[in-house]
Structure formats: C-alpha cells, structure tokens
Amino acid sequence: MIENLTPQQAWEVLQQNASAVLVDVRTQMEHAYVGHPIGAVHVAWKEAPIWAINPNFVSDVSKLIPNLDAPILFLCRSGQRSLSAAKALEDAGYKRLINIIDGFEGPLDSQNHRGNLGGWRYCGLPWQQS
C-alpha cells in the first residue's frame, strides 16, 4: 500500500529514518530550474518533449535503492506523477512507498499559479536550485 503524506510529514520521515530516500520524479528541467529538495535523488518518471514513461525507471531506482524495505518518498510537481511512479515500484516488490501530496509546487490557485497553496517549497522545507 502506498502512503500519502504531506510535505511536512514526509520531511519528518526523512529526519527520523536514515535509510529513507527522497526520489524527485520530475523532468530534468523541473528538477534543475524550478528547484528540488536538498538531498533528493533525481530519476525522471517522464521526460519532455514526448512525455513517455521512462522505460528504465524501475531499474534506475533499483540501482540507487536495492533495499526493497527502505522507505522511498516520491515527489513531483503536484503529487500525480509521483503516485504513478510509486505504483510502478510497488509492482516491482518495494514495500514502503510514500507519495508526497501536493508535490514540490502544490495545486493551482484561482489565478492558475502554483506555489501559493501548498507543496514542499510553500511549506518552507529545504530546497535549492541548480
């Protein structure tokens, strides 16, 4: 079963469990230019311009995180791609999978802008830009 945690709850998991890994599944451009949580590993679930699912996603993650019992937290822009990525790892036998709801930038506000209602960055959690 995949857990859904807020960014703050996810941060607590990362602080309390040394084996926990945060995987940023956004595109390389999002990761680099929009910013990313400090310490996150980057493995894109989909990549522009064709937005096809990365056929090597599961194998790429398994090379980085071979322990099927390690807590793995997934983050995307708003919490949707990360959930799909977590399901792929669940199918591959991983046991502790966590989707970060609202992702890095959060949902759209009434002006169709992200970053004003929720998400990792909005919550003031550690992040950086490349």
Cβ atoms of 101 and 8 closer than 8 Å: no
Query: Which is catalytic among the residues 22, 43, 73, 76?
Result: 76
With CA atoms as reference, report the closest residue to 51 among 14, 77, 23, 19: 77
> What is the token pair recorded at 12?
């607590």
- Confirm whether 123 is a catalytic residue: no
* Start-end of H helices in 1-130: 7-16, 28-29, 57-64, 81-91
- As annotated, the active-site residues are 76
